[in-house]
Structure 1
Amino acid sequence: MPYEAKNFDHLLGTPGFSDQLLKNHFTLYQGYVTNTNKLADILDQMLKEGKTGTPEYAELKRRFGWEFNGMRLHEYYFGNMIKGGKELDKGSAFYKKLTDDFGSYENWEKDFKSTGTMRGIGWVVLYLDPIANRLFNTWINEHDLGHLAGSIPLLIMDVFEHAYMIDYGLKKADYIEAFFKAIDWSVVVNRFNNAPKVTL
Protein backbone atom coordinates (compact mmCIF):
# COMPACT_ATOMS: atom_id res chain seq x y z
CA MET A 1 0.00 0.00 0.00
CA PRO A 2 1.55 3.34 -0.99
CA TYR A 3 2.26 6.08 1.53
CA GLU A 4 0.03 9.14 1.34
CA ALA A 5 1.19 12.67 2.10
CA LYS A 6 -0.47 14.11 5.19
CA ASN A 7 -2.10 17.53 5.05
CA PHE A 8 -0.53 20.09 7.36
CA ASP A 9 -2.34 23.17 6.03
CA HIS A 10 -3.69 23.83 9.53
CA LEU A 11 -0.21 25.22 10.30
CA LEU A 12 -0.64 28.07 7.81
CA GLY A 13 -0.79 31.32 9.73
CA THR A 14 1.52 30.07 12.50
CA PRO A 15 3.28 33.11 14.02
CA GLY A 16 6.94 33.20 13.04
CA PHE A 17 6.39 31.08 9.91
CA SER A 18 5.33 32.75 6.67
CA ASP A 19 2.81 30.89 4.55
CA GLN A 20 5.34 30.91 1.69
CA LEU A 21 7.91 29.13 3.85
CA LEU A 22 5.40 26.56 5.07
CA LYS A 23 3.95 25.89 1.60
CA ASN A 24 7.45 25.38 0.18
CA HIS A 25 8.24 23.06 3.07
CA PHE A 26 5.03 21.06 2.55
CA THR A 27 5.92 20.64 -1.14
CA LEU A 28 9.38 19.38 -0.21
CA TYR A 29 7.83 16.89 2.22
CA GLN A 30 5.40 15.69 -0.45
CA GLY A 31 8.41 14.98 -2.67
CA TYR A 32 9.81 12.62 -0.04
CA VAL A 33 6.49 10.75 0.06
CA THR A 34 6.45 10.46 -3.74
CA ASN A 35 10.05 9.26 -3.90
CA THR A 36 9.56 6.76 -1.06
CA ASN A 37 6.73 5.18 -3.03
CA LYS A 38 8.69 5.21 -6.29
CA LEU A 39 11.72 3.56 -4.71
CA ALA A 40 9.61 0.93 -2.96
CA ASP A 41 7.97 0.03 -6.29
CA ILE A 42 11.26 -0.06 -8.22
CA LEU A 43 12.99 -2.18 -5.57
CA ASP A 44 10.06 -4.58 -5.49
CA GLN A 45 10.18 -4.94 -9.27
CA MET A 46 13.95 -5.48 -9.27
CA LEU A 47 13.52 -8.21 -6.63
CA LYS A 48 10.94 -9.97 -8.83
CA GLU A 49 13.26 -9.69 -11.84
CA GLY A 50 16.25 -11.14 -9.98
CA LYS A 51 18.27 -7.92 -10.15
CA THR A 52 19.21 -7.76 -6.46
CA GLY A 53 22.89 -8.31 -7.18
CA THR A 54 23.22 -5.22 -9.38
CA PRO A 55 24.92 -1.92 -8.49
CA GLU A 56 21.65 -0.14 -9.37
CA TYR A 57 19.74 -2.16 -6.78
CA ALA A 58 22.39 -1.46 -4.13
CA GLU A 59 22.31 2.29 -4.73
CA LEU A 60 18.51 2.45 -4.70
CA LYS A 61 18.44 0.38 -1.51
CA ARG A 62 20.78 2.87 0.13
CA ARG A 63 18.70 5.77 -1.16
CA PHE A 64 15.51 4.36 0.35
CA GLY A 65 16.58 5.30 3.90
CA TRP A 66 17.13 8.91 2.83
CA GLU A 67 13.70 9.27 1.23
CA PHE A 68 11.78 7.33 3.90
CA ASN A 69 13.36 9.18 6.82
CA GLY A 70 12.90 12.50 5.00
CA MET A 71 9.20 11.68 4.79
CA ARG A 72 8.80 10.43 8.36
CA LEU A 73 10.91 13.11 10.08
CA HIS A 74 8.85 15.83 8.40
CA GLU A 75 5.67 14.14 9.63
CA TYR A 76 7.02 14.11 13.19
CA TYR A 77 8.17 17.73 12.83
CA PHE A 78 4.92 19.17 11.46
CA GLY A 79 3.02 16.87 13.80
CA ASN A 80 4.62 18.37 16.93
CA MET A 81 3.70 21.92 15.89
CA ILE A 82 0.46 23.85 16.33
CA LYS A 83 -0.54 27.42 15.61
CA GLY A 84 0.07 29.34 18.85
CA GLY A 85 1.71 26.38 20.59
CA LYS A 86 0.46 24.32 23.54
CA GLU A 87 2.18 24.58 26.91
CA LEU A 88 3.97 21.68 28.54
CA ASP A 89 2.05 20.16 31.44
CA LYS A 90 4.43 20.46 34.38
CA GLY A 91 2.49 17.76 36.20
CA SER A 92 3.07 15.18 33.46
CA ALA A 93 5.30 12.12 33.79
CA PHE A 94 7.18 13.41 30.74
CA TYR A 95 8.03 16.71 32.45
CA LYS A 96 9.28 14.82 35.50
CA LYS A 97 11.41 12.56 33.30
CA LEU A 98 12.83 15.57 31.44
CA THR A 99 13.81 17.30 34.67
CA ASP A 100 15.19 14.09 36.19
CA ASP A 101 17.39 13.35 33.18
CA PHE A 102 18.61 16.90 32.51
CA GLY A 103 18.49 18.41 36.01
CA SER A 104 15.86 20.96 34.99
CA TYR A 105 13.64 21.92 32.09
CA GLU A 106 15.91 24.92 31.51
CA ASN A 107 18.94 22.65 31.16
CA TRP A 108 17.10 20.49 28.63
CA GLU A 109 15.97 23.53 26.62
CA LYS A 110 19.47 25.01 26.59
CA ASP A 111 20.91 21.72 25.35
CA PHE A 112 18.21 21.26 22.68
CA LYS A 113 18.56 24.82 21.35
CA SER A 114 22.38 24.63 21.44
CA THR A 115 22.23 21.42 19.42
CA GLY A 116 20.03 23.22 16.88
CA THR A 117 22.40 26.17 16.49
CA MET A 118 25.41 23.97 15.70
CA ARG A 119 26.89 24.60 12.28
CA GLY A 120 25.53 22.36 9.58
CA ILE A 121 22.28 21.04 8.21
CA GLY A 122 20.14 18.40 9.81
CA TRP A 123 17.66 17.71 12.56
CA VAL A 124 17.48 17.88 16.32
CA VAL A 125 15.60 15.00 17.95
CA LEU A 126 14.66 14.48 21.56
CA TYR A 127 14.83 10.70 21.78
CA LEU A 128 13.64 8.28 24.42
CA ASP A 129 15.84 5.21 24.75
CA PRO A 130 13.13 2.76 25.90
CA ILE A 131 15.63 0.14 27.04
CA ALA A 132 17.51 2.38 29.49
CA ASN A 133 14.50 4.71 29.94
CA ARG A 134 16.70 7.71 29.20
CA LEU A 135 16.22 10.91 27.19
CA PHE A 136 18.78 12.30 24.72
CA ASN A 137 18.93 15.39 22.52
CA THR A 138 20.54 14.17 19.31
CA TRP A 139 21.93 15.80 16.18
CA ILE A 140 21.10 14.04 12.92
CA ASN A 141 23.28 15.29 10.10
CA GLU A 142 21.42 13.65 7.21
CA HIS A 143 18.04 11.95 7.25
CA ASP A 144 19.60 8.50 7.33
CA LEU A 145 22.60 9.12 9.61
CA GLY A 146 22.87 9.61 13.36
CA HIS A 147 19.67 7.98 14.58
CA LEU A 148 19.84 6.16 17.91
CA ALA A 149 18.90 2.55 17.17
CA GLY A 150 15.68 1.48 18.83
CA SER A 151 15.00 4.91 20.30
CA ILE A 152 11.70 6.75 19.97
CA PRO A 153 11.53 10.30 18.60
CA LEU A 154 9.51 12.57 20.88
CA LEU A 155 10.26 16.09 19.60
CA ILE A 156 11.67 16.86 16.16
CA MET A 157 13.08 20.17 14.92
CA ASP A 158 14.14 20.63 11.30
CA VAL A 159 17.30 22.72 10.97
CA PHE A 160 17.91 22.31 7.25
CA GLU A 161 18.02 25.77 5.62
CA HIS A 162 14.68 25.23 3.88
CA ALA A 163 12.99 25.25 7.30
CA TYR A 164 13.91 28.86 8.03
CA MET A 165 15.97 30.81 5.45
CA ILE A 166 13.04 32.38 3.56
CA ASP A 167 11.93 34.03 6.81
CA TYR A 168 15.13 34.31 8.84
CA GLY A 169 18.09 34.27 6.47
CA LEU A 170 21.06 33.06 8.49
CA LYS A 171 19.43 33.81 11.86
CA LYS A 172 18.82 30.20 12.80
CA ALA A 173 18.52 31.04 16.50
CA ASP A 174 15.55 33.31 15.76
CA TYR A 175 13.86 30.48 13.87
CA ILE A 176 14.44 28.15 16.83
CA GLU A 177 12.73 30.66 19.14
CA ALA A 178 9.74 30.78 16.77
CA PHE A 179 9.66 26.98 16.64
CA PHE A 180 9.56 26.76 20.43
CA LYS A 181 6.51 29.04 20.46
CA ALA A 182 4.78 26.63 18.04
CA ILE A 183 5.49 23.34 19.85
CA ASP A 184 2.43 21.26 20.65
CA TRP A 185 3.66 19.75 23.89
CA SER A 186 0.52 17.62 24.18
CA VAL A 187 1.74 15.65 21.14
CA VAL A 188 5.20 15.21 22.67
CA VAL A 189 3.71 14.04 25.98
CA ASN A 190 1.44 11.63 24.10
CA ARG A 191 4.42 10.16 22.20
CA PHE A 192 6.18 9.67 25.53
CA ASN A 193 3.14 8.12 27.23
CA ASN A 194 2.56 5.70 24.34
CA ALA A 195 6.18 4.63 24.00
CA PRO A 196 6.52 0.85 24.36
CA LYS A 197 8.63 -0.58 27.13
CA VAL A 198 11.48 -2.56 25.57
CA THR A 199 13.91 -5.13 26.91
CA LEU A 200 16.73 -6.88 25.11
Structure 2
Amino acid sequence: MAVYSLPDLPYDYGALEPHIAGQIMELHHSKHHQTYVAGTNTALEQLEEARATNKLDTVNQLQKNLAFNLAGHVNHTVFWNNMSPEGGDRPDGELGTAVDEFFGSFDGFRAHYTAAALGIQGSGWSILAWESIGQRLVIEQLYDHQGNLAAGTVPLLMLDMWEHAFYLQYKNVKPDYVAAFWNIVNWPDVAARFEAARTKTSGLITP
Protein backbone atom coordinates (compact mmCIF):
# COMPACT_ATOMS: atom_id res chain seq x y z
CA MET A 1 0.00 0.00 0.00
CA ALA A 2 1.27 3.46 -0.87
CA VAL A 3 1.87 5.62 2.18
CA TYR A 4 1.81 9.35 2.73
CA SER A 5 4.96 11.19 3.75
CA LEU A 6 5.77 14.60 5.17
CA PRO A 7 6.70 17.02 2.38
CA ASP A 8 9.74 19.24 2.70
CA LEU A 9 9.12 22.93 3.13
CA PRO A 10 10.11 25.13 0.19
CA TYR A 11 12.10 27.36 2.61
CA ASP A 12 13.94 27.14 5.92
CA TYR A 13 12.01 27.17 9.19
CA GLY A 14 13.21 30.68 9.98
CA ALA A 15 12.62 32.10 6.50
CA LEU A 16 9.23 33.64 7.29
CA GLU A 17 10.47 35.65 10.29
CA PRO A 18 9.56 38.07 11.71
CA HIS A 19 6.03 37.30 10.54
CA ILE A 20 6.04 33.68 11.72
CA ALA A 21 8.74 32.55 14.12
CA GLY A 22 11.04 29.72 13.13
CA GLN A 23 10.18 27.85 16.34
CA ILE A 24 6.52 27.82 15.35
CA MET A 25 7.30 26.67 11.83
CA GLU A 26 9.50 23.83 13.06
CA LEU A 27 6.92 22.57 15.56
CA HIS A 28 4.05 23.07 13.16
CA HIS A 29 5.71 21.20 10.31
CA SER A 30 7.80 18.51 12.00
CA LYS A 31 5.34 17.68 14.80
CA HIS A 32 1.77 18.70 13.94
CA HIS A 33 1.86 18.03 10.21
CA GLN A 34 3.80 14.82 10.78
CA THR A 35 1.09 13.68 13.18
CA TYR A 36 -1.55 14.08 10.46
CA VAL A 37 0.59 12.12 8.01
CA ALA A 38 1.04 9.29 10.51
CA GLY A 39 -2.65 9.37 11.40
CA THR A 40 -3.61 9.07 7.75
CA ASN A 41 -1.39 6.06 7.20
CA THR A 42 -2.63 4.40 10.39
CA ALA A 43 -6.28 4.91 9.45
CA LEU A 44 -5.71 3.43 6.00
CA GLU A 45 -3.94 0.41 7.48
CA GLN A 46 -6.73 -0.13 9.98
CA LEU A 47 -9.38 0.15 7.28
CA GLU A 48 -7.53 -2.41 5.18
CA GLU A 49 -7.41 -4.74 8.16
CA ALA A 50 -11.12 -4.22 8.85
CA ARG A 51 -11.95 -5.21 5.27
CA ALA A 52 -9.64 -8.20 5.33
CA THR A 53 -11.09 -9.55 8.58
CA ASN A 54 -14.67 -8.47 7.85
CA LYS A 55 -14.72 -6.56 11.15
CA LEU A 56 -16.55 -3.59 9.71
CA ASP A 57 -18.05 -2.34 12.98
CA THR A 58 -14.98 -0.07 13.28
CA VAL A 59 -15.38 1.54 9.87
CA ASN A 60 -17.47 4.50 11.04
CA GLN A 61 -14.81 5.71 13.49
CA LEU A 62 -11.94 4.90 11.17
CA GLN A 63 -13.51 6.92 8.36
CA LYS A 64 -13.70 9.90 10.71
CA ASN A 65 -10.05 9.43 11.64
CA LEU A 66 -9.08 9.24 7.99
CA ALA A 67 -11.06 12.35 7.07
CA PHE A 68 -9.53 14.40 9.89
CA ASN A 69 -5.94 13.36 9.36
CA LEU A 70 -5.91 13.30 5.56
CA ALA A 71 -7.55 16.72 5.46
CA GLY A 72 -4.95 17.99 7.92
CA HIS A 73 -2.20 16.69 5.65
CA VAL A 74 -3.76 18.19 2.51
CA ASN A 75 -4.46 21.57 4.12
CA HIS A 76 -0.93 21.98 5.42
CA THR A 77 0.59 20.90 2.10
CA VAL A 78 -1.27 23.77 0.44
CA PHE A 79 -0.60 26.19 3.32
CA TRP A 80 3.19 25.85 3.26
CA ASN A 81 3.29 26.65 -0.44
CA ASN A 82 0.87 29.55 -0.04
CA MET A 83 3.61 31.36 1.90
CA SER A 84 6.99 32.71 0.83
CA PRO A 85 9.74 34.92 2.28
CA GLU A 86 9.31 36.99 -0.90
CA GLY A 87 5.52 37.18 -0.48
CA GLY A 88 3.15 39.99 0.26
CA ASP A 89 1.73 42.85 -1.79
CA ARG A 90 -1.35 41.83 -3.82
CA PRO A 91 -2.20 39.60 -6.78
CA ASP A 92 -1.94 40.85 -10.35
CA GLY A 93 -2.89 39.40 -13.72
CA GLU A 94 -6.02 37.29 -14.09
CA LEU A 95 -6.18 36.49 -10.38
CA GLY A 96 -6.06 40.17 -9.49
CA THR A 97 -8.82 40.87 -12.00
CA ALA A 98 -10.95 38.05 -10.58
CA VAL A 99 -10.49 39.31 -7.02
CA ASP A 100 -11.72 42.73 -8.12
CA GLU A 101 -14.66 41.16 -9.99
CA PHE A 102 -15.93 38.96 -7.19
CA PHE A 103 -15.04 41.06 -4.14
CA GLY A 104 -15.13 44.61 -5.49
CA SER A 105 -11.47 45.32 -4.76
CA PHE A 106 -8.42 43.74 -3.18
CA ASP A 107 -9.08 45.72 0.00
CA GLY A 108 -12.62 44.35 0.08
CA PHE A 109 -11.34 40.82 -0.41
CA ARG A 110 -8.67 41.20 2.26
CA ALA A 111 -11.19 42.56 4.78
CA HIS A 112 -13.65 39.73 4.03
CA TYR A 113 -10.98 37.00 4.22
CA THR A 114 -9.64 38.47 7.47
CA ALA A 115 -13.12 38.61 9.01
CA ALA A 116 -13.72 34.98 8.02
CA ALA A 117 -10.44 33.96 9.68
CA LEU A 118 -11.11 35.87 12.88
CA GLY A 119 -14.70 34.65 13.03
CA ILE A 120 -13.82 30.97 13.21
CA GLN A 121 -15.03 29.49 16.48
CA GLY A 122 -12.38 27.15 17.82
CA SER A 123 -10.04 25.63 15.25
CA GLY A 124 -10.21 25.92 11.49
CA TRP A 125 -9.06 27.60 8.30
CA SER A 126 -9.95 30.63 6.20
CA ILE A 127 -9.95 29.74 2.50
CA LEU A 128 -10.10 31.49 -0.84
CA ALA A 129 -11.47 28.85 -3.21
CA TRP A 130 -12.62 28.38 -6.79
CA GLU A 131 -16.18 27.13 -7.19
CA SER A 132 -16.52 25.47 -10.58
CA ILE A 133 -20.32 25.38 -10.96
CA GLY A 134 -20.68 29.12 -10.51
CA GLN A 135 -17.24 29.78 -12.05
CA ARG A 136 -16.36 32.16 -9.26
CA LEU A 137 -14.10 32.81 -6.32
CA VAL A 138 -15.59 32.25 -2.87
CA ILE A 139 -14.33 32.63 0.70
CA GLU A 140 -15.04 29.70 3.01
CA GLN A 141 -14.59 28.92 6.69
CA LEU A 142 -13.30 25.40 7.26
CA TYR A 143 -13.90 23.97 10.73
CA ASP A 144 -11.28 21.65 12.20
CA HIS A 145 -9.70 20.29 9.01
CA GLN A 146 -12.65 18.91 7.11
CA GLY A 147 -16.02 20.48 7.99
CA ASN A 148 -18.28 23.21 6.58
CA LEU A 149 -17.14 23.25 2.94
CA ALA A 150 -19.08 22.91 -0.27
CA ALA A 151 -18.11 19.73 -2.14
CA GLY A 152 -15.81 20.31 -5.07
CA THR A 153 -14.46 23.75 -4.24
CA VAL A 154 -10.73 24.03 -4.91
CA PRO A 155 -8.63 25.76 -2.21
CA LEU A 156 -6.34 28.42 -3.58
CA LEU A 157 -5.25 30.31 -0.45
CA MET A 158 -5.45 28.75 3.01
CA LEU A 159 -4.76 30.30 6.42
CA ASP A 160 -4.39 28.00 9.43
CA MET A 161 -6.31 29.37 12.42
CA TRP A 162 -5.51 26.53 14.80
CA GLU A 163 -3.76 27.91 17.89
CA HIS A 164 -0.62 25.87 17.24
CA ALA A 165 -0.08 28.01 14.11
CA PHE A 166 0.40 31.25 16.05
CA TYR A 167 0.05 31.02 19.84
CA LEU A 168 3.74 30.85 20.77
CA GLN A 169 4.30 34.18 19.03
CA TYR A 170 0.98 36.03 19.01
CA LYS A 171 -0.73 34.53 22.08
CA ASN A 172 -4.48 35.22 21.76
CA VAL A 173 -4.07 38.30 19.55
CA LYS A 174 -5.35 36.69 16.37
CA PRO A 175 -5.65 39.97 14.42
CA ASP A 176 -1.88 40.47 14.61
CA TYR A 177 -1.27 36.96 13.26
CA VAL A 178 -3.66 37.44 10.36
CA ALA A 179 -2.16 40.86 9.59
CA ALA A 180 1.32 39.29 9.52
CA PHE A 181 0.13 36.59 7.13
CA TRP A 182 -0.59 39.14 4.40
CA ASN A 183 3.14 40.00 4.34
CA ILE A 184 4.09 36.46 3.29
CA VAL A 185 1.30 35.38 0.93
CA ASN A 186 2.84 33.70 -2.10
CA TRP A 187 0.62 35.19 -4.80
CA PRO A 188 2.37 33.39 -7.70
CA ASP A 189 1.48 30.09 -6.03
CA VAL A 190 -2.12 31.19 -5.51
CA ALA A 191 -2.30 32.38 -9.13
CA ALA A 192 -0.98 29.03 -10.39
CA ARG A 193 -3.67 27.21 -8.43
CA PHE A 194 -6.29 29.61 -9.78
CA GLU A 195 -5.20 28.96 -13.35
CA ALA A 196 -5.17 25.19 -12.90
CA ALA A 197 -8.53 25.13 -11.11
CA ARG A 198 -10.21 27.07 -13.92
CA THR A 199 -8.62 25.39 -16.91
CA LYS A 200 -7.26 21.96 -16.05
CA THR A 201 -9.24 20.24 -13.31
CA SER A 202 -12.21 20.44 -11.00
CA GLY A 203 -10.27 18.66 -8.26
CA LEU A 204 -7.78 19.61 -5.58
CA ILE A 205 -4.57 21.40 -6.56
CA THR A 206 -1.42 20.38 -4.69
CA PRO A 207 2.27 20.84 -5.57
TM-score normalised over the length of structure 2? 0.89
Unaligned runs of 5+ in 1: none
What residue is the counterpart of 2:70 in the other structure?
Answer: 68
Contact 2:117 2:161 in 1 (8 A): yes
Kindly state the Cα deviation for residue 158 of structure 1 after the two structures are TM-superposed.
0.2
For 2:119 and 2:94, the matched residues in 1 are separated by 30
For 1:77 and 1:19, the matched residues in 2 are separated by 16
Give the 3-state SS of the residue equivalent to 2:109 in structure 1. helix
The superposition leaves residues 163-189 of structure 1 with CA deviations (integer Å, 9 ceiling, x where unpaired) of 101000011111111111111000000
Larger mean Cα displacement after TM superposition, 10-19 or 184-193 = 10-19
For 1:173 and 1:145, the matched residues in 2 are separated by 23
Q: Are the structure 2 counterparts of residues 31 and 25 from structure 1 closer, same or farther at C-alpha, using a change threshold of 3 Å?
A: same
Question: Is 2:169 the counterpart of 1:162?
Answer: no
The superposition leaves residues 141-170 of structure 1 with CA deviations (integer Å, 9 ceiling, x where unpaired) of 121211221110000000111110100001
What residue is the counterpart of 2:13 in the other structure?
Answer: 12
Among the aligned pairs, what percent are the same residue? 24
What residue is the counterpart of 1:134 in the other structure?
Answer: 136
For 1:5 and 1:164, the matched residues in 2 are separated by 21
Contact 1:122 1:141 in 2 (8 A): yes
What residue is the counterpart of 1:184 in the other structure?
Answer: 186
Would you identify which runs of 4 or more consecutive aligned residues in structure 1 move more than 4 Å? none
- CA RMSD, 1 decimal: 1.5
Contact 1:88 1:186 in 2 (8 A): no
State how many pairs are aligned. 195
Contact 2:128 2:158 in 1 (8 A): yes
Larger mean Cα displacement after TM superposition, 78-87 or 33-42 = 78-87
What residue is the counterpart of 1:94 in the other structure?
Answer: 95
Q: Are the structure 2 counterparts of residues 89 and 135 from structure 1 closer, same or farther at C-alpha, using a change threshold of 3 Å?
A: closer
What residue is the counterpart of 1:28 in the other structure?
Answer: 32
Unaligned runs of 5+ in 2: 203-207
Larger mean Cα displacement after TM superposition, 118-127 or 37-46 = 118-127
Q: Are the structure 2 counterparts of residues 22 and 99 from structure 1 closer, same or farther at C-alpha, using a change threshold of 3 Å?
A: same
Kindly state the Cα deviation for residue 135 of structure 1 after the two structures are TM-superposed.
1.1
